[in-house]
Structure 1
Amino acid sequence: MRKRTRVAVVTVASGLALGLLCAPANAEPSPGSPGLGDPIYKGAGNGGYDVEHYGIRLAYQPSTDELSGHTTIRATATQDLSQFNLDFALKVTSVRVGDAPAAFRVDPADKTELVVTPSRPVQKDRPFEVVVAYADVPSQVQVDGVQVWHRTATGGLSVGQPLSAETWYPSNDHPSDKATYDVSVAVPDGTTALSNGILSGRAHERPGWTRWSWRAGQPMTSYLAFIALGRFEYHEGASPRGLPYYTAYDESLGERLPIAKQTIERTPEVTDFLATKFGAYPFDSIGGVATSGFGFAIENQTRSVYGTSFWDRPNPDWVVAHEQAHQWFGDSVSPANWSEMWLNEGFATYAEWLWSEHNGRGTAAELADAFYARYPADDPFWQLVLSPGTKLFAAAVYERGAMTLHALRTEVGDDAFFRILQTWHLSKRGANATTAEFVAHAERVSRKPLDALFKQWLSTPAKPPVGPNGSATTSVAAPAVVADMAKLHQHLAAHRH
């Protein structure tokens, strides 16, 4: 399936040393499931345990794209486990569970399923640790047939959705299992190592090498964790509101570099505006990374990463509005499973419309009408059901999702609508959510029955007879604005599985 020039090492070890791996004599331990039965990605994630923390300690050589190191996983068993799986695409040479070596193998039917058999069963409701050491060339590895690790002119990075973790750390790779993170990477001097959260240390580890350490202390889903390694123009400081503020710009961007910097430096301004609509920003740091090697953008928690497709657009700040909105909806409030994707992309697209209105380019109402008019009734756009969803990144997930929110706003009025969004985030901050929960929440806050509205906009494979502003006639925003936004959504979706 793929060729490798190096062998990967994965080690799993317990720092608890509390004898938590002895199951009682009357227990009948069983294997954890190799997937969580996600409606779209049925093999994503693993059953039998919940992860609390990942400690990832790596070294990276940009000249050869070699990645090595170990990951420590702190988890709690949700059943008596005779074995369990980790999602991981690199080769494994050793595994420890608790204080003892564990047997392991790669599932021959799915090369990203690492099957671990501890020396003793793991008892239900007890914490345990797994430490994994690895060394490989991740750019030679594919996940689900997709090249997830991106090689750049000066290094490499792992960003993507839904399956990106497997090329750099072993995990329970599903949005329903959030955890905190410590990420530490040693790189040659002159190379920058970026990740999520707050920079907790930077020190010379040995001659010619510097170790960068990052801490993400707020819950995060596995695909939102990232590393970007290479030669960057790196800045750290404080935002106007006092948050630690980190930005980095790939030196190979060339003529794109000035507009990338100008746009990403607006992140605090965009974030402050969105906070007036969605409530207080949910995380403890802020920033952005502009890189080469791909064209899309993705909402990595606290630090969105932007590819090369946006810097020649008429209004590239829309992509910042989109990705920063995800910090609330997608990152802080994450989908319970991948069929709930409109709760991410519909909300982030609606943030573009709010930002457009704020900047006098077209009101949210005008844009809702314009996108409604863009697709005739017989267009396949209207055939895609958003809840439960079947595709993660179709245009309808973005644009029909945003139209759904505007139809809600039209129905309940502005005061209730923004109260719904702000209290929705507060009620689900740091957790996972479903469409049914959002509908119930909207009904509680607005004190209106809304089932029919959401059924028509999310679950009916047909164009609603009236637009999101409640009328069969539409006013059309400037065609150039709508076309630019539609192109933006194509770029945002281009990288996905």
Structure 2
Amino acid sequence: MLKRKNILFAGLSIFAVIVLIIGFLVIKWAFNNLDPLRKAQQAVSIAVQMKDLNEKELEKYNPKSQRAVDVKHYLINLDLYPEQEKIIGDVTISLKINDKQSDRFEINLYDNFEIREIQINGEHAEYEQTGKVLTVLKKNKEFDSADVRIKYEGTPKSLGFGSFKFVEVDGHLQTYTLSEPIFASTWFPCIDLPDDKALLDIYVTNDSSNISLSNGKLLDVKSNKTRRTYHWKTFYPIATYLIAVYSGNYKTFSEKYRSVSGDSLNIAYYALPKNIDDAKKDFSGHSSYIKVFEELFGPYPFIKEKYSVAEFWWQGGAMENQTLTGIGSNFISGLRLSTDVLIHELSHHWWGDAVTPKTWKDIWLNEGFATYSVALYWEKQAGFSALQSTMMTRSLIPDGTLYNPGNALFSGLIYNKGAWVLHMLRKEVGDDIFFKILKEYFLKYKYGNASTDDFKNLCEKISKKNLNQFFNQWVYKGEGIIEIEADWKQIQSNNLEIRIKQLQKGYDIYKFPIDIKLIYDKQDDFNVSTVYVSSKDTVINIQSKKKPSKVIFDPDKWLLKRIILINHN
């Protein structure tokens, strides 16, 4: 058999080899462009659950009274019993009280758990449960802070993208969480708001055959005969949706990185035994990714902790848990086909984890930034043409507004259009100003939260430009993309008349600059003019040396558009 295979291989035609190469490129394109990052598109059940993201449901889930407190710290003790699909939790939430008049704490926790005990500052407390909100009643209104301790047990609901899962892989039980956007309370009590960030200590206990992972730095591991407890601690605030637990029979490897700050960073990788060899090929190299992002955005923001990538048994893509990026098992191939996914998730540690959106209406500040960061990485590695080609793979844009997208939180609207808005903003303000904006935005809002208004105001402050029109048409109000019909004709030997007619329905009149390239007899004989379009039907005259052989609109692909050319020779 082996001999026959060799003969067959030797007889492969050049055509067959070409087919194989094309097939590989198609697979690579699919990995990079089917967009495993569009987390909410994997199943109808997820779309149904995302109905909870409408404003009315969010008001129920996050009542205004939650603003009466500010969470400072979570102490989570979590005992995992995968064979029974059960957890036993003991969580202490340390709160600063902003409104002493309130007689209650309203905490998110799904009502399928058995509550064993609740205490406030060590004393028994009464409570009421309504759906996903646990109301803990206060006896004393005088204190400025409180430790609310909740002991509970049960089987977590698995909602959203699989907020808490026990799965069996090759005869071994694995546990993972994925809490984005509002499903952290399916497994631990919390105030599940993206802008109520807190410090975290988490103790995860499982069978001693498992490694248990979480956010931050590993401080301690304690074992008895059959159980093992891992203590992880964060030194930087974390949003609840980024808190994660993975537990399984992991194999591990690592590399070191020297940050621009001079500090050493441990980069740890975890994969299941059957995938460890492929993971070593796919995961390695994060040092080079971090180096590029430190140059573009600023120092890695969690230097006191770690960066890590761990396999988890989710088929939908990857997740940027703070310092613990998870990547689905089916994205590990040994062929480095998921590089863009890994770069995207790493960039979230600047955009999403360090700078977290104030509300889910601002989610494009996460996903649009991370998507454009991938393009910036490839530009840094391979030049402007790599940036262009990466952006062109992101040109499919669903309808809807970028700000406050409703249920379309994880659609191509947020990822692709968000990236294009940054790309066009870069053209609008110029490279020097644009990259200054990114660094200042990171520096100003690091370890906190930012809104779309915050970002817009910072852009205007640094660029010294009024960007109301830009943000209204691309972020707040406009839907879809620019659709234009372009026409040109020579009216004099050195004068060209350009007509640009806007056809789109998602926004009446876009106002934008567009480059127009006139090519003469040879490709290297050309000139480029920038014109400003400000009406539904714009006619502009531009100078030309002679009649051009070709006119190219937006030659460097800075504009999110669809164009119909009507050419008069």
| TM-score, normalised relative to structure 2 | 0.70
Aligned counterpart in structure 2 of residue 446 of structure 1, from 445, 463, 475: 463
- Aligned partner of 1:470 in structure 2 is 514
Q: Which structure features the higher share of strand residues?
A: 2
In 2: Cα distance, 1:353 partner to 1:303 partner: 23
Report the 3-state secondary structure (helix = DSSP H, G, I; strand = E; otherwise coil) of the residue aligned with 1:163. coil
Name the CA shift for 1:307/1:161 in 2 (closer, same or farther; >3 Å). same
- Aligned partner of 1:329 in structure 2 is 351
- Aligned partner of 1:137 in structure 2 is 155
Name the CA shift for 1:451/1:104 in 2 (closer, same or farther; >3 Å). same
The 8 Å contact of residues 59 and 67 in structure 1, kept in 2 or not, is answered as: yes
The 8 Å contact of residues 282 and 337 in structure 2, kept in 1 or not, is answered as: no
Name the CA shift for 1:370/1:147 in 2 (closer, same or farther; >3 Å). closer
Aligned counterpart in structure 2 of residue 214 of structure 1, from 213, 226, 232: 232
In 1: Cα distance, 2:307 partner to 2:243 partner: 14
Report the 3-state secondary structure (helix = DSSP H, G, I; strand = E; otherwise coil) of the residue aligned with 1:321. helix
- Aligned partner of 1:248 in structure 2 is 270
The 8 Å contact of residues 88 and 170 in structure 1, kept in 2 or not, is answered as: yes
- Aligned partner of 1:258 in structure 2 is 277
Deviations 1:68-106 (A, max 9, x none): 130111001121221121111233121111131111232
- Aligned partner of 1:102 in structure 2 is 125
In 2: Cα distance, 1:147 partner to 1:371 partner: 27
How big is the shift at 1:455?
1.7
Report the 3-state secondary structure (helix = DSSP H, G, I; strand = E; otherwise coil) of the residue aligned with 2:115. coil
How big is the shift at 1:202?
0.8
The answer to whether structure 1 residue 78 and structure 2 residue 81 are counterparts is no
In 2: Cα distance, 1:37 partner to 1:131 partner: 30
The answer to whether structure 1 residue 357 and structure 2 residue 357 are counterparts is no
- Aligned partner of 2:193 in structure 1 is 174
The 8 Å contact of residues 456 and 464 in structure 1, kept in 2 or not, is answered as: no
The 8 Å contact of residues 410 and 470 in structure 1, kept in 2 or not, is answered as: no
- Aligned partner of 2:291 in structure 1 is 272
Name the CA shift for 1:304/1:408 in 2 (closer, same or farther; >3 Å). same
In 2: Cα distance, 1:260 partner to 1:364 partner: 27
Gaps of 5+ in 1: 1-34, 376-380, 478-497
Name the CA shift for 1:174/1:426 in 2 (closer, same or farther; >3 Å). same
The 8 Å contact of residues 370 and 474 in structure 1, kept in 2 or not, is answered as: no
The 8 Å contact of residues 158 and 164 in structure 1, kept in 2 or not, is answered as: no
The 8 Å contact of residues 234 and 248 in structure 1, kept in 2 or not, is answered as: yes
In 1: Cα distance, 2:450 partner to 2:298 partner: 18
Aligned counterpart in structure 1 of residue 203 of structure 2, from 168, 184, 200: 184
Q: Which amino acid aligns with 1:114?
A: L
In 2: Cα distance, 1:39 partner to 1:244 partner: 43
Name the CA shift for 1:202/1:309 in 2 (closer, same or farther; >3 Å). same
The 8 Å contact of residues 256 and 287 in structure 2, kept in 1 or not, is answered as: no
In 1: Cα distance, 2:278 partner to 2:91 partner: 37
Report the 3-state secondary structure (helix = DSSP H, G, I; strand = E; otherwise coil) of the residue aligned with 1:363. helix
- Aligned partner of 2:74 in structure 1 is 54
Aligned length: 424
Please give the residue correspondences for 1:9-24 in structure 2 after superposition, counting only pairs within 5 Å.
none
Report the 3-state secondary structure (helix = DSSP H, G, I; strand = E; otherwise coil) of the residue aligned with 1:94. strand
The answer to whether structure 1 residue 311 and structure 2 residue 332 are counterparts is yes
The answer to whether structure 1 residue 425 and structure 2 residue 442 are counterparts is yes
Report the 3-state secondary structure (helix = DSSP H, G, I; strand = E; otherwise coil) of the residue aligned with 1:276. helix
How big is the shift at 1:395?
0.5
- Aligned partner of 1:283 in structure 2 is 302
Aligned counterpart in structure 2 of residue 388 of structure 1, from 388, 401, 404: 404
Report the 3-state secondary structure (helix = DSSP H, G, I; strand = E; otherwise coil) of the residue aligned with 1:271. helix
In 1: Cα distance, 2:58 partner to 2:271 partner: 33
The 8 Å contact of residues 250 and 290 in structure 1, kept in 2 or not, is answered as: yes
How big is the shift at 1:39?
7.8
Deviations 1:208-240 (A, max 9, x none): 222110001101100000001111113466434
Report the 3-state secondary structure (helix = DSSP H, G, I; strand = E; otherwise coil) of the residue aligned with 1:345. helix
Report the 3-state secondary structure (helix = DSSP H, G, I; strand = E; otherwise coil) of the residue aligned with 1:261. helix
Please give the residue correspondences for 1:1-12 in structure 2 after superposition, counting only pairs within 5 Å.
none
Report the 3-state secondary structure (helix = DSSP H, G, I; strand = E; otherwise coil) of the residue aligned with 2:91. strand
- Aligned partner of 2:167 in structure 1 is 152
Name the CA shift for 1:364/1:39 in 2 (closer, same or farther; >3 Å). farther
Report the 3-state secondary structure (helix = DSSP H, G, I; strand = E; otherwise coil) of the residue aligned with 2:222. strand
Name the CA shift for 1:370/1:195 in 2 (closer, same or farther; >3 Å). closer
Name the CA shift for 1:135/1:191 in 2 (closer, same or farther; >3 Å). same
The 8 Å contact of residues 85 and 155 in structure 2, kept in 1 or not, is answered as: yes
Aligned counterpart in structure 1 of residue 316 of structure 2, from 295, 298, 308: 295
The answer to whether structure 1 residue 91 and structure 2 residue 91 are counterparts is no
Q: Which amino acid aligns with 1:443?
A: E
In 1: Cα distance, 2:310 partner to 2:514 partner: 40
Q: Which amino acid aligns with 2:482?
A: P
What RMSD over aligned residues (CA atoms) do the two structures have, in Å? Answer: 2.6
Bigger relative CO (Cα 8 Å, ≥ 6 apart): 1
User: Bigger radius of gyration, 1 or 2?
Assistant: 2
